Amino acid sequence: MTHYHQPVLLKESIDGLNIKPGGIYVDATFGGGGHSREILNKLNKKGKLLGFDQDEDVLDNIPGDKRFIFVQHNFRFLRNFLKYHNIEKIDGLLADLGVSSHHFDSAQRGFSFRFDSELDMRMNRKAGFSAHELLNTYSRENLAGIFREYGELKNAWNIALGIIRYRENKPIENTGDLDKAISGLIPSKSRNQFLAKLYQAIRIEVNHEVENLREMLEQSLEFLDSGSRVAIISYHSIEDRIVKTFFKQGKFSKDTTIDLYGNKEKVFRAVNRKPITPGEEELKTNNRARSAKLRIAEKT
């Protein structure tokens, strides 16, 4: 469903999984189903694929294939649903992180500053906490913290102050209100880049994207068999650092596991030393893929 979301690095990510025809795989970010369909094309009748997505908008994209199991939940529940379906081991996992073209192009979802719409930004619209609530309830310290950490904005403290002062007179309900609250802080020469970082920071916090990614990756270790592969496509440095750290250490804690010979125990072998990025041909047809980075690792 390319009108929903054009799959990024499709061939590279699917080839990187080194799919076994009779294997069991997970597409942690089903979305438009582009990656899932390619995985299904490489599976035989014994193969199986689980697709996770918490957004009800993807339901129309589900393939009518008996080998496919759709899970309408966030991928942080990976362990729960693999056990529910009596799956002890998987042969590979793919995740295409970030926001789909569908979300950016849906004015009513509030993911893009291109539309004057209500600030929602929830991937799961049944969840209670929205961007609107965040901007009207977080303290200056908490707002500055997410702008600095998730948006990497240098003037995070002043942005937070602008929001606090604006909401003293009027709630920040839509993208227009947010624009007015920080109007004097938006650089004219790099307006779009600045707002993209700001909206990214709010979206990550609303959807708990960092915590969910860490949880999913750690849970995957319980089910990945030796030789199984993980392919993750990220779109900003925060996600990429998390993936890079996990592939390198097999965990997020700082303690290291030492083998009998005193060497650091390696959980993964990097399939690609440097992240794979889209080529010129893909960028011509899908400009939104420009920031994508694909990392692939194999369980030892």
Do 33 and 52 contact (CB within 8 A), yes or no? Answer: no
Question: 228: which residues sit within 8 A by CB, 6+ positions away?
Answer: 89, 90, 91, 92, 93, 298, 299
pLDDT in tens, the chain (300 residues): 445 568 999 999 999 999 999 999 999 999 999 999 999 999 999 999 999 999 888 999 999 999 999 999 999 999 999 999 999 999 999 999 977 555 555 656 656 666 678 899 898 888 779 999 999 999 999 999 999 999 999 999 999 999 999 999 999 999 999 999 999 999 989 999 999 999 999 999 999 999 999 999 999 999 999 999 999 999 999 999 999 999 999 999 766 666 666 667 899 999 998 999 999 999 999 888 999 999 999 999
Please give the pLDDT value at position 110: 59
Q: Which helix (H) or strand (E) holds 151?
A: helix 140-151
Do 27 and 36 contact (CB within 8 A), yes or no? Answer: yes
CA dihedral 266, 271, 273, 274 (to 10 degrees): -130
Altogether, the residues listed in the chain come to a count of 300
Distance from C-alpha of 54 to C-alpha of 119, rounded to nearest angstrom = 19
Distance from C-alpha of 123 to C-alpha of 99, rounded to nearest angstrom = 9
Each residue's pLDDT tens digit, 110-158: 566 666 788 998 988 887 799 999 999 999 999 999 999 999 999 999 9
Q: What is the full DSSP assignment across 81-99?
A: HHHHTT---EEEEEEE-S-
Each residue's pLDDT tens digit, 99-110: 755 555 565 665
Closest by CA to 24, choosing from 228, 218, 246, is: 228
Please give the pLDDT value at position 89: 98
Tokens of 60: 């129309």
pTM of whole model > 0.85? yes
Q: Which domains does the chain have, with CATH numbers?
A: 10-101+209-299 (3.40.50.150), 125-206 (1.10.150.170)
The radius of gyration of the chain's CA atoms, rounded to the nearest angstrom, is 20
